[in-house]
């Protein structure tokens, strides 16, 4: 894992200092080495976390002709197979690195090389002869890539927004529409940034640059081509693909570990890793006192597979101080409360290994979220608003979450209000509804385009039923929240994380499965449970899902957090200057309070013009 930056077209004298500044800011992503290469029209910069080819994999790296140069962040897990193919075509290699494989694959196949890669990546290739730049990002955006064009028409590309700003070549401008999107979701959607003049290269896209306007193209998107499959045949193929994905992602020249929460996903990863590794897998678990403590479950898995297990109970974290640290780790406002425990477990694991595998992506692929149960029930339900309101009143009176009555009430509400399954899931994920956001903006609302997911998030017309719901989470929640959370939290400690469930071959197989093999009215992850229960200790098999969230109600009552609210959210703050319509904090929607607090902290830290 690394940090990358590029600057073109500019005089080399003008390029060197900004690149040095960007490299300095990215050092946490690559603490092992750094490199800069200046050309006649700009330059490339790189910070390296050495994982593959420790001796000769330094970057920026050129091909033997010195025409093409690359900077790369990520891992290509099938690079050895691609390397062998390129050798058979007459290419010679000077290193054992996957970086050189990407470079020569591009020389051979151009942009079509992207279809051959199985891995996570963000890279930039500079063609010194043509004076053109090619950049690309992996399918789901496991690795970040941002770009901007300054007032002189110079293109800047880098791994993190803070590095672009550090270059000194542009002044960031706040995007009010992106702020509204953040208020709606708790994260900035993956097709934009919080700034109008800084852009993200979306997942599954590549960028071409010849000195004019950046040309952005999509080379991959989630596409559901459902085939009829019976449970046994699908189970056999899924098991093989899971094993292949885990084996692929264990390629490294340094020790590899795994996050082990004691949940189904990470336990499956650890079980399959243990069948391939020659020694004990290093596993890492963190408990947080009495509100998040999965340590007993994790220890059960570690004992079954004889892992080299490390765990620690950190009690309740210093929430106020860590929240302020998060404004530095995340360059944009980011309100997923699980970023705090993720940051802390990454710090713990980073003391022992450079690489860990995680279970990220399994819930989106296999249908693991609790909100899928009312969604699938709504598919077969026709309800009126009146009927739903009656059922909801009874459900609230009884006060139970996710029991039969409440699930049916939620399904009725979805069915009565929104006919399309995609829209239903969008609304399930909406943290602050438009009417409340409008009140926050006050008179500024007339200049805001209320957030609604655009074309980037839309499934193909032939995508039906629950697949439409899955598509939204795979194109928005996974890349915009989950993968951002893990990448920034881990790389703050120089730790590489890998998500084997996002292996392209595995993903595209899962897209071919009927939704009934993923979610039923009374069960999530149907096929996944059927296949993987063989790898779980008995104590895990019937265990209910426990997310890595945090007790917002408890945290908001802490003196340190209440002090942050007073300093960053109440009257006279930059948040109130941005959102003048806030008269009082929304007492019923505690997550809305958290979203506002995080935004307020971010505004104070970044001092962007409001």
List helix spans (H) across 275-338.
295-304, 319-329
Query: How many other CB atoms are found less than 10 A from the CB of residue 514?
Result: 16
How many beta carbons lie within 10 A of that of residue 420, not counting itself?
10
Q: Is the peptide bond before 55 cis (omega within 30 degrees of 0)?
A: no
157: β partners: 6, 147
Cα–Cα separations (whole angstroms), residue 120 to 157, 343, 375, 411, 487 = 18, 20, 31, 37, 11
What is the distance between the terminal CA atoms of the chain, rounded to a whole angstrom?
A: 35
What backbone phi and psi angles, to 5 degrees, belong to 20?
-60, -40
Q: Which alpha helices (DSSP H) does 305-338 contain, by range?
A: 319-329
How far apart (Å, rounded) are the C-alpha atoms in residues 568 and 327? Answer: 13
Q: Please tell me the distance from the alpha carbon of residue 431 to that of residue 489, in angstroms, as a whole number.
A: 23
Q: Does residue 2 carry a catalytic annotation?
A: yes
Give burial (CB, 10 Å; 0-12/13-18/19+) of 450: middle
Query: What is the C-alpha separation between 203 and 191, in angstroms, rounded?
Result: 8
Nearest residue to 5 (alpha-carbon basis) of 197, 195, 164: 164
- Specify the DSSP element, H or E, that contains 458: none
H or E stretch including 534? Answer: none
The CA distance from 521 to 378, in Å, is 9
For the four alpha carbons of 456, 459, 465 and 467, in that order, the dihedral sign comes to negative
Angle at 134 between CA 130 and CA 136, to 5 degrees: 170
Is it true that the peptide bond before 198 is cis, omega within 30 degrees of 0? no
Nearest to 1 by CA among 84, 79, 63, 59: 59
158 neighbors 22 (Cβ within 8 angstroms): yes
Beta carbons within 8 Å of 54's beta carbon, 6+ residues apart: 253, 254
Whether 115 contacts 125, CB under 8 Å: no
And the tokens for 31?
Answer: 């603490």
Of 289, 292, 300, which is closest to residue 260 (Cα–Cα)?
A: 300
Q: Give the catalytic positions in this structure.
A: 2
């Amino acid at each position: 894992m690394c940090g990358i930056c590029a600057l073109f077209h500019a005089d080399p004298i003008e390029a060197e200092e900004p690149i040095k500044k960007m490299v300095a800011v990215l050092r946490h992503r690559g603490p092992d080495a750094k490199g800069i290469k200046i050309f006649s029209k700009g330059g490339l910069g790189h910070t390296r976390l050495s994982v593959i080819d420790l001796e000769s994999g330094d970057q920026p790296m050129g091909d033997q002709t010195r025409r093409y140069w690359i900077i790369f962040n990520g891992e290509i897990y099938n690079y050895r197979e691609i390397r062998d193919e390129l050798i058979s075509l007459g290419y010679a290699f000077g290193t054992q690195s996957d970086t050189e494989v990407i470079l020569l694959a591009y020389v051979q196949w151009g942009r079509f090389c992207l279809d051959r890669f199985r891995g996570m990546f963000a890279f930039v290739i500079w063609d010194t002869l043509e004076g053109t730049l090619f950049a690309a990002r992996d399918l789901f955006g496991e690795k970040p890539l941002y770009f901007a064009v300054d007032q002189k028409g110079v293109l800047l590309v880098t791994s993190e927004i803070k590095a672009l700003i550090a270059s000194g070549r542009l002044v960031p401008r706040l995007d009010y529409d992106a702020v509204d999107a953040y208020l709606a979701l708790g994260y900035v959607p993956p097709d934009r940034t919080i700034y109008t003049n800084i852009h993200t290269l979306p997942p599954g896209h590549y960028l071409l640059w010849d000195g004019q306007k950046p040309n952005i193209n999509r080379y991959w998107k989630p596409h559901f081509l459902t085939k009829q499959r019976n449970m046994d045949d699908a189970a056999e193929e899924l098991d093989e693909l899971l094993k292949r994905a885990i084996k692929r992602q264990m390629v490294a020249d340094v020790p590899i570990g795994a996050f082990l929460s004691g949940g189904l996903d990470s336990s499956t990863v650890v079980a399959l890793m243990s069948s391939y590794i020659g020694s004990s897998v290093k596993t890492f678990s963190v408990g947080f006192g009495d509100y998040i403590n999965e340590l007993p479950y994790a220890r059960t898995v570690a004992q079954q597979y004889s892992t080299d297990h490390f765990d620690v109970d950190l009690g309740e974290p210093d929430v106020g101080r860590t929240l302020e640290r998060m404004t530095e780790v995340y360059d944009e406002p980011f309100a997923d409360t699980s970023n705090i425990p993720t940051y802390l477990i990454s710090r713990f694991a980073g003391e022992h290994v450079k690489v860990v595998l995680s279970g990220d992506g399994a819930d989106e692929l296999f249908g693991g979220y609790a909100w899928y149960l009312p969604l699938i029930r709504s598919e077969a339900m026709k309800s009126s608003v009146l009927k739903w309101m009656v059922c909801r009143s009874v459900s609230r009176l009884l006060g139970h979450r996710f029991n039969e009555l409440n699930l049916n009430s939620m399904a009725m509400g979805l069915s009565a209000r929104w006919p399309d399954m995609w829209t239903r899931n969008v609304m399930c994920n909406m943290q602050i509804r438009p009417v409340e956001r409008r009140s926050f903006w006050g008179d500024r609302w007339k200049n805001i385009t209320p957030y609604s997911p655009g074309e980037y998030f839309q499934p193909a017309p032939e995508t039906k039923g629950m697949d439409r719901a899955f598509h939204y989470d795979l194109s928005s929640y996974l890349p915009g929240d989950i993968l951002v959370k893990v990448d920034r939290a881990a790389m703050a400690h120089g730790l590489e994380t890998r998500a084997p469930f996002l292996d392209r071959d595995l993903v595209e197989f899962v897209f071919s499965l009927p939704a009934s093999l993923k979610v039923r009215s009374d069960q999530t992850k149907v096929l996944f449970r059927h296949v993987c229960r063989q790898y779980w200790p008995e104590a895990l098999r019937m265990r209910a899902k426990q997310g890595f969230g945090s007790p917002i109600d408890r945290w908001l009552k802490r003196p340190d957090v209440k002090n942050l609210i007073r300093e960053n959210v109440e009257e006279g703050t930059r948040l109130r200057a941005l959102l003048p319509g806030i008269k009082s904090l929304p007492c019923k929607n505690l997550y809305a309070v958290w979203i506002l607090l995080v935004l307020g902290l971010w505004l104070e830290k970044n001092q962007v013009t409001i």
